[in-house]
A and B are shown apart, each in its own frame.
Chain A
Amino acid sequence: MSIIQVSNLKKSFGTLEVLKDINAEIQEKEVVCVIGPSGSGKSTFLRCLNKLEDITDGQVIIRGQDITDPKININKVRQDIGMVFQSFNLFPHMTVLENVTLAPIKVRSVSKAVSNEKGMELLAKVGLKEKANSYPGELSGGQKQRVAIARALAMNPKIMLFDEPTSALDPEMVGEVLEVMKQLAQEGMTMVVVTHEMGFAREVGDRVLFMDGGYIVEENVPSELFGNPQHDRTKSFLSKVL
């Protein structure tokens, strides 16, 4: 059974229909990259997967649970879905280590000692062990985003969502973040990545979804989607970004 199943997902903001009829299925350990022009609904799609946006219509089933069911405890569902934002959204009043350990301590009631140890391991993994006691304001963009990834990983998520994780970064810092994501993919994390990094999508993605105008216009393995796009809109988008 797929870990994420989306059927007939629709999302409107007021009268503006942003997602028109989204159907997608994502398997465990799969890395799915979502590409498409700005305003096509990529972020909204991603944010519907952990219900940061209210879902207007359709079904989103995460690990067998329909999250559109109002009776479901969405906090519980979110604990297993990590999310990384374009603008990092680190908590500026907490140290790097506190950022990473907050959710395990408060949400999973893990002891402080255990969370700190796990937190340090994760910071080591993203190469920022020595920044544990710094504040986010003292970090570069690339470092911030790596902390944000460590923070999400601290909850042991089953799925990781990335919304343009490198778009706010100076070019020289993009690599360090993509490297961490690549490692995560190799370890078998299920990942949905909205990105403009076509190189990453091609190299790390198992599948690429091309979105335009609130629809998934085309999806395929990267080699096919990039090498042999079927739809005119895909072709025209790729000709602009490649």
Chain B
Amino acid sequence: MDAISKAMPYLLEGLQVTVYIFIASLILGLIIGLIMALLRLSPVKPLNWIAKIYIDAIRGTPILVQLFFIYFGLNSFEWISMDKTTAGIVTVGLNAGAYFAEIIRAGIQSIDKGQTEAARSLGLTGSQNMRFIVLPQAVRRMLPTFTNQAIISLKDTSLLSIIGIADLTQQGEVATSATFEAFKIWFVVGVIYFILIYLLSLLANFLERRFELR
């Protein structure tokens, strides 16, 4: 017990960093995902390709390589200098963005064409149709898969400890070397991640019920 209470301050500090990076990269991922999904569905071919290349490149490579590419690779240019946290957020955000793009695209495509036809026949523009008719319905359908990806991204943040970000995993490392109680510390770190993910799925369930299709 003593080791755990000694470790707790470290772990809570790490937890803060993890939550911060997670939320920031989730927001970044959502913005990128929405843009890429719209590009992917655009009738303009080159825009299509851009989105497709991006999505395939992210999905076809390990996130660790993406992290090294962004943190070490891009930072090797003189005119780019990202701190660790920024590189971490950008990596997880770009990574999640590719998956979100596919989720959003599938969600949009699952909405009956008749909805768009009705909206356009009333004089709504294409973007008004997206905003008021298609996306609100698509979002409800996307929520479960969306939650899955958010959980994966949350777990992905633990990889960021490799470049020295002081997240929960990294702080677990620190606490272990301070206490030499690897079993207890890593067990507690696991429990904290588990609670975090559990809370996330509770939130998702709540949103799903609130937005239930009537």
Which A residues have a C-beta under 8 Å from some C-beta of B? 50, 52, 75-76, 78-79, 81-83, 85, 87, 89-93, 102-103, 106-107, 135-138, 148, 151-152, 155
- Which chain A positions have C-beta within 8 A of B124? 75, 102-103, 106-107
Is the C-beta of B122 less than 8 angstroms from some C-beta in chain A?
yes
Is B121 a contact partner of A75 (Cβ separation < 8 A)?
no
5 contacts between A and B (CB under 8 A): A78-B121, A89-B112, A92-B137, A93-B137, A103-B124
Is the C-beta of B133 less than 8 angstroms from some C-beta in chain A?
yes
Given contacts A89-B114, A89-B118, contact A103 B123 (CB under 8 A): yes
Smallest CB–CB gap between A97 and chain B, Å? Answer: 14
Q: Which 3 A-B pairs have the closest CB atoms?
A: A79-B123, A89-B118, A103-B122
Is the C-beta of B132 less than 8 angstroms from some C-beta in chain A?
yes
- Which applies to chain B's interface (DSSP): helix, strand, loop or mixed? helix
Q: How many residues of B contact A (CB 8 A)?
A: 20
Is the C-beta of B145 less than 8 angstroms from some C-beta in chain A?
no
CA distance A151 to B112 in the complex (A): 18
- Which chain B positions have C-beta within 8 A of A136? 214
- Which chain A positions have C-beta within 8 A of B137? 91-93
From B117, B136, B214, contact of A85 by CB (8 A): B117
Is B136 a contact partner of A93 (Cβ separation < 8 A)?
yes
Is B118 a contact partner of A76 (Cβ separation < 8 A)?
no
Is A91 a contact partner of B122 (Cβ separation < 8 A)?
no
From A78, A89, A106, A135, contact of B214 by CB (8 A): A135
- Which chain A positions have C-beta within 8 A of B214? 92-93, 135-138
From B117, B132, B140, contact of A89 by CB (8 A): B117
- Which chain B positions have C-beta within 8 A of A93? 136-137, 140, 213-214
CA distance A148 to B125 in the complex (A): 19
Is the C-beta of B76 less than 8 angstroms from some C-beta in chain A?
no
- Which chain B positions have C-beta within 8 A of A79? 122-123
Interface membership of chain B positions 114-136, coded 1 if the CB is closer than 8 angstroms to chain A and 0 otherwise: 11011111111100100011001
Smallest CB–CB gap between A55 and chain B, Å? Answer: 15
- Which chain B positions have C-beta within 8 A of A91? 115, 118-119, 133, 137
Smallest CB–CB gap between B122 and chain A, Å? Answer: 4
- Which chain B positions have C-beta within 8 A of A148? 118
Among A92, A102, A136, the most chain B Cβ lie within 10 Å of the Cβ of A92
- Which chain B positions have C-beta within 8 A of A102? 122, 124, 132
Is B132 a contact partner of A50 (Cβ separation < 8 A)?
no
Q: Which residue of A lies closest to B118 (CB)?
A: A89
- Which chain B positions have C-beta within 8 A of A89? 112, 114-115, 117-118
Smallest CB–CB gap between A192 and chain B, Å? Answer: 13
- Apart from A52-B117, A91-B118, A91-B137, what 7 extra A-B contacts exist at CB < 8 Å? A82-B122, A83-B121, A93-B214, A102-B132, A103-B124, A151-B122, A155-B122
Smallest CB–CB gap between B126 and chain A, Å? Answer: 9
